[in-house]
Every structure is written in structure tokens, then in C-alpha cells.
């Protein structure tokens, strides 16, 4: 066959081949695009959408910066200087309120150092004055305070009549000399109607009886009181 006659056939065949190739390429391109669209949208079939994947992908977390660890702070207590309370001079102790105060006047009987035979009985009498501001009444008592009791009572009525301030009275008590030879002293004091102690002066000192007990056959220097 003459090749020039075949030329149109070759040309037509070439053109068909080119068209087939172009259609094939275009079809593949469309299929790829469709697949991409389907892949990015078909979430109902279990495929995660591309947009969702991009959206749900964990974002890059910022690297935590180094934070300074706070060390526990210690509380420092600063002691403030406090002034100690100033000692104030207290008022002197009131020894007596001035109501019941006795004053010694004299020993009426049994002077200090009087000598007695062992076991001798005697009566001691003091002369006192009411130097206070209260009247002594028959509820006031003479009582044994300390020292040698000499068989005297624990207490007894001091007076039988009222003794106003400034009045002088005599108070007596019956005693017995000890049976042992020696020197003895007994102290006595007063109590008011409420049982409060008082005595001589504002210091409420007791008054006393002081004797010596001596055997009459031992020496003739001192004559014991019968």
C-alpha cells in the first residue's frame, strides 16, 4: 500500500491514541480528587475526616519554663524589750487598827525573879491600861500565849465590868510553880469578843510572869515564897 495513502490513517490513529491517553490521565486525576474528598469527608464509614484529624491533633505544648522553687521561709521572732513592772513601795503592814491596845503599868504581885518552892501556888496580877479606842467588855479574855504555863488555864474571863479607853484595871491569874528547880517564864495575852489577839502596844506584845523555883534547904540566900 502506498504510504502516503496510509498517512491519514496514521494521523488518525495517533490522534486517537493521544485522546485516549488524555482521557485516561484526566480520569485518574478525577478519581484521585474524588478519593481525597471522600477521605476527608467520609466520617460515617469510620474514617476520620482530614479536617478533624488536623483539628484534633494535639497542639504542641509549650515547654514549661523553670519556676523557682520557693524555699520555706522561716519566721524570725524579734524579741522586743519589755519593761518589767516597776516595784511600787507597798504600804506598811497595819499592826493594829487602834481599837484594842493595852499598856503595861506595873506588876502588882510576883515581881520578876520571885523565888518559889517547888509546887507552890501563887496569884500573878498585872496592872494594865486601855490605850485603845474600844471599850473592853466581859467577853474579853486573858489567855495563855507561850512559855511555861505553870498549871494556868488556857483562857479565862479578863474582866467583869466594862473598861472604857483610858481606864486602868488589874488582871489576875492563879498559877502553880513547877516542881523542878530552875527559872521559868510564861507569856500571856488578851483576846477581844471576836477572838482577835491583842496585847501591849501596837505590836500586840504579850506580857509575862517570871519566877525562880528553888529548894529552901539548898541555900539561905533567897527566901522562897511560902
pLDDT tens, residue by residue, 36-79: 444 444 444 444 444 443 444 444 545 444 444 444 444 444 43
Q: Is the pLDDT of residue 82 over 80?
A: no
| 129 plus 203 within the same structural domain | yes
Identify which has the larger pLDDT, 144 or 78.
Answer: 144
| 27 plus 113 within the same structural domain | no
pLDDT band for 80, please (50, 70, 90 cuts).
Answer: very low
**Which uninterrupted H or E stretch holds 19?**
helix 3-41
| 22 plus 110 within the same structural domain | no
In a domain, 10, yes or no: yes
In a domain, 127, yes or no: yes
| 26 plus 110 within the same structural domain | no
What DSSP state is assigned to residue 195?
Answer: -
What's the domain range around 153?
102-213
In a domain, 188, yes or no: yes
CA atoms within 13 A on the CB side of 176: 7
pLDDT for the residue numbered 152: 98
In a domain, 50, yes or no: no
pLDDT for the residue numbered 97: 73
Domain count, the chain: 2
pLDDT for the residue numbered 51: 43
Averaged pLDDT for residues 97-110: 96
CA separation for the pair 121, 176 (Å, rounded):
4
Using H for helix, E for strand and C for coil, what is the string for 44-84?
Answer: CCCCCCHHHHHHHCCCCCCCCCCCCCCCCCCCCCCCCCCCC
Q: Model confidence over 8-41: pLDDT tens digits?
A: 555 566 666 666 666 565 655 555 454 444 444 4
CATH number for 118 = 2.60.40.10
pLDDT for the residue numbered 79: 39
pTM across the whole model: 0.57
For 225, counting Cβ atoms within 10 Å of its Cβ (0-12 exposed, 13-18 middle, 19+ buried), the class is: middle
Q: Is the pLDDT of residue 158 over 90?
A: yes
In a domain, 126, yes or no: yes
CA separation for the pair 143, 158 (Å, rounded):
9
Q: Is the pLDDT of residue 225 over 50?
A: yes
CA angle 179–181–183, rounded 5-degree value: 110
In a domain, 111, yes or no: yes
In a domain, 144, yes or no: yes
Rg of the chain, C-alpha, whole Å: 67
pLDDT band for 217, please (50, 70, 90 cuts).
Answer: confident
pLDDT for the residue numbered 176: 98
Which residue is listed with cell 528553888?
214
| 204 plus 120 within the same structural domain | yes
In a domain, 17, yes or no: yes
CA separation for the pair 128, 152 (Å, rounded):
19
What DSSP state is assigned to residue 225?
Answer: B
| 8 A C-beta contact, residue 179 and residue 118 | yes
- Beta bridge partners of residue 205, listed in sequence order: 200
| 32 plus 122 within the same structural domain | no
Amino acid at each position: 500500500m502506498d504510504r502516503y495513502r496510509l498517512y491519514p490513517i496514521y494521523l488518525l490513529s495517533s490522534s486517537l491514541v493521544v485522546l485516549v491517553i488524555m482521557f485516561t490521565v484526566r480520569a485518574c486525576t478525577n478519581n484521585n480528587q474524588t478519593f481525597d474528598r471522600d477521605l476527608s469527608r467520609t466520617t460515617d464509614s469510620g474514617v476520620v475526616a482530614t479536617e478533624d484529624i488536623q483539628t484534633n491533633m494535639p497542639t504542641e505544648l509549650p515547654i514549661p519554663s523553670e519556676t523557682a522553687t520557693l524555699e520555706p521561709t522561716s519566721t524570725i521572732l524579734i524579741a522586743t524589750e519589755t519593761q518589767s513592772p516597776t516595784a511600787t513601795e507597798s504600804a506598811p503592814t497595819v499592826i493594829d487598827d487602834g481599837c484594842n491596845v493595852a499598856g503595861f503599868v506595873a506588876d502588882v504581885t510576883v515581881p520578876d525573879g520571885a523565888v518559889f518552892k517547888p509546887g507552890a501556888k501563887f496569884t500573878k496580877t498585872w496592872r494594865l491600861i486601855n490605850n485603845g479606842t474600844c471599850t473592853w467588855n466581859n467577853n474579853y479574855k486573858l489567855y495563855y500565849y507561850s512559855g511555861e504555863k505553870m498549871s494556868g488555864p488556857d483562857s479565862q474571863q479578863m474582866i467583869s465590868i466594862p473598861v472604857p479607853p483610858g481606864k486602868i484595871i488589874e488582871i489576875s491569874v492563879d498559877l502553880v510553880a513547877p516542881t523542878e528547880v530552875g527559872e521559868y517564864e510564861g507569856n500571856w495575852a488578851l483576846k477581844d469578843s471576836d477572838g482577835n489577839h491583842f496585847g501591849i502596844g501596837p505590836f500586840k506584845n504579850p506580857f509575862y510572869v517570871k519566877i525562880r523555883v528553888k529548894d529552901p534547904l539548898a541555900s539561905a540566900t533567897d527566901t522562897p515564897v511560902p
